């Protein structure tokens, strides 16, 4: 149960990544109009609000609209995957994370997100491989260390898990908690 709560924490923390990544054009797409970008940002805000309200099915609907409108935007795919994980649609979520990774292989969030979905399926070795990839991309990613610790504990590798938890704690002594987890 605690691993699932920590995985949910990671998922909720990554929802804000869409605002940093934006919905800009890519090399494969024609230039977008200002109107299209504004509409995309409006839908993204609705998706984030739905997520914050715990309405993951509605958030998935909004992210699907963005995936259809901006199919080469990795943040849209990754965030739809997050909405799907929150509904325990793990296979569909993994497919979305795979697409995000294909579009942006050097972005850490899709690997972190896919790792949580794999971990929820009990596929600890695959999850650890994803967390290791995150740490290759960003050696100071506290969430990747924390999640790898979760996966290691799932495998019964207690000492390795403790090492990862300690490293996560050194990097981020207090990991931020979403509103729903605060007392």
Residues 6+ apart with CB under 8 A from 59: 47, 48, 50, 51, 83, 86
Closest CA to 149 of 159, 141, 138, 139: 159
pTM assigned to the model: 0.79
Give the three-class secondary structure for 156: coil
- Structural domains present in the chain: 2-18+33-181 (1.25.40.10)
Q: How confident is the prediction along the chain (183 residues), in pLDDT tens digits per residue?
A: 333 333 333 333 343 333 344 444 444 556 778 898 899 999 999 999 999 999 999 999 999 999 999 999 999 999 999 999 999 999 999 999 999 999 999 999 999 999 999 999 999 999 999 999 999 999 999 999 999 999 999 999 999 999 999 999 999 887 654 443 334
């Amino acid at each position: 149960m605690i691993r699932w709560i920590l995985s949910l924490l990671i998922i909720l923390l990554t929802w804000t990544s869409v605002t940093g990544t934006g919905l800009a054009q890519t090399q494969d797409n024609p230039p977008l109009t200002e109107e299209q970008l504004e509409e995309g940002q409006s839908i993204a805000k609705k998706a984030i609000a739905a997520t914050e309200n715990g309405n993951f099915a509605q958030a998935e609907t909004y992210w699907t609209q963005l995936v259809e409108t901006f199919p080469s935007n990795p943040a849209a795919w990754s965030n739809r995957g997050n909405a799907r994980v929150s509904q325990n649609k793990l296979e569909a979520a993994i497919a979305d994370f795979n697409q995000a990774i294909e579009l942006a292989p050097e972005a850490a969030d899709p690997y972190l997100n896919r790792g949580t979905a794999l971990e929820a399926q009990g596929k600890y070795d695959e999850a650890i491989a994803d967390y290791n990839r995150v740490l290759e991309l960003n050696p100071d990613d506290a969430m990747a260390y924390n999640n790898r610790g979760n996966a290691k504990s799932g495998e019964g590798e207690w000492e390795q898990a403790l090492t990862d938890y300690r490293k996560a704690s050194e990097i981020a002594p207090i990991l931020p908690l979403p509103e729903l987890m605060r007392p």
